[in-house]
Amino acid sequence: MLDDDTPADGPFGASPPLVDEFTGPAYTAEESVRVACMVADGLAALAAEENLDSFRLPYPDPVQRALNRVVLAALRRGIDPNQFPQSVMGLVAWCREVPLSEWPLSLPDDRDWNQTLIDRETNERTPLCIRLERRSPYASDRGMHRILMGEFRSQLKSLGLAEGERLRVEHDFEQVMVQFPVLTRAMRFEKAELVLGSIADLMSEFYRPMPSRFLRDGVCRLCERCNLPLYPRAGQEWWCETADCQRRSRHAGKAPKFSRTFSTPTGRDLFLLIRPFRLFVTAPANLARQP
């Protein structure tokens, strides 16, 4: 019989109570999801670094915190240290190559965890990663989509509009995001003035200059199914950033079709809706209309 102070053996061996006190229970599904959220939050912090070429140590706190927690989880499961990441760059590589279901975690059976946190084709955070980042307790004050929508609604209230009118403006702006994830300079001005009126300046927070990675010879193409911009790949292929379109392309053995094409010599005249809104506003609405 064990004394009250003696830890019981779990599926991975004894669990040190003192460590649990500081890090939370080691092997529960709840704690495993918390660790996954911390990693997703760390990736979001890295993605927020606008100029990685001039980046200097130390890494952002969320990244180092995520690495420490993953290392601790692996060590406490008795895993060979050579089999898990020991640096931030190693953690990033893991996020790209190893599905979350194969991590040293005890994730619940409430969803498909057999996905990576970084897309292997585009090197962007996957929808699963962004969903986890939204759940992270460390991301609530920094989540760009939440901050922007909060600011957007505050600005609407400051205009003294009736609730019905505020909801109409918010709905109209959402429709712009659904139908026009890419805007030319002239279109951005037109939509901002038409939909947002006196708070038109907020448009620049949602639509940023088009990144060069979406352009091939000055051309940007939108996916026929989800309406998001396609990534140019080797040769003449294009690749969609949504998981649903990627699966269909792999199944069909061919690149996704495109609906619209924008052409610009430098990309300076094109503006792209920021990624959280593309994945959680634009893509779902357009995919819901597909047969």
Beta bridge partners of 183: 271
- Residues 40 and 132: beta-carbon distance below 8 Å: yes
Segment 210-238 shows an average pLDDT of 85
Whole-angstrom Cα distance, residue 61 to residue 45? 8
What pLDDT does residue 2 have? 30
Segment 226-250 shows an average pLDDT of 79
Helices (H), the chain: 17-23, 29-47, 61-75, 88-97, 127-135, 144-158, 163-179, 185-191, 203-206, 243-252, 275-277, 283-287
Mean of all residue pLDDT scores within the chain: 76
What pLDDT does residue 272 have? 92
Whole-angstrom Cα distance, residue 127 to residue 246? 12
What pLDDT does residue 144 have? 60
- Residues 280 and 128: beta-carbon distance below 8 Å: no
**pLDDT > 70 in the chain, percent:** 76
Q: Cα 60 vs. chain centroid, distance in angstroms? A: 17
Least confident of 11-20, 42-51, 234-243, 261-270: 11-20
pLDDT tens readout for residues 213-225 = 888 888 899 998 8
* Strand-pair category, 9-10 with 13-14: antiparallel
pLDDT tens readout for residues 54-99 = 445 567 667 777 788 788 777 777 777 677 788 888 889 999 999 9
What count of other Cβ atoms lies within 10 Å of the Cβ of residue 71?
A: 19
What pLDDT does residue 27 have? 57
Task: Annotate 70-88 with DSSP letters as a single string.
Answer: HHHHHHTTT--GGGS--SH
Is 156 in a helix, a strand, or coil? helix
What pLDDT does residue 34 have? 82
Higher model confidence: residue 44 or residue 21?
44
What pLDDT does residue 260 have? 86
Q: Which residue has the tokens 């952002």?
A: 60
- Residues 210 and 271: beta-carbon distance below 8 Å: yes
- Local confidence band at 16 (pLDDT 50, 70, 90 cut-offs): very low
Distances (CA, A) of 259 to 164, 209, 247: 34, 21, 19
- Residues 108 and 29: beta-carbon distance below 8 Å: yes
Task: Encode 140-179: b = buried (16+ Cβ within 10 Å), e = exposed.
Answer: eeebbbeebbeebeebbeeeeeeeeebeebeeebeebbbe
Q: Nearest to residue 126, comparing CAs of 34, 240, 204? A: 240
What pLDDT does residue 78 have? 74
pTM score of the predicted model: 0.57
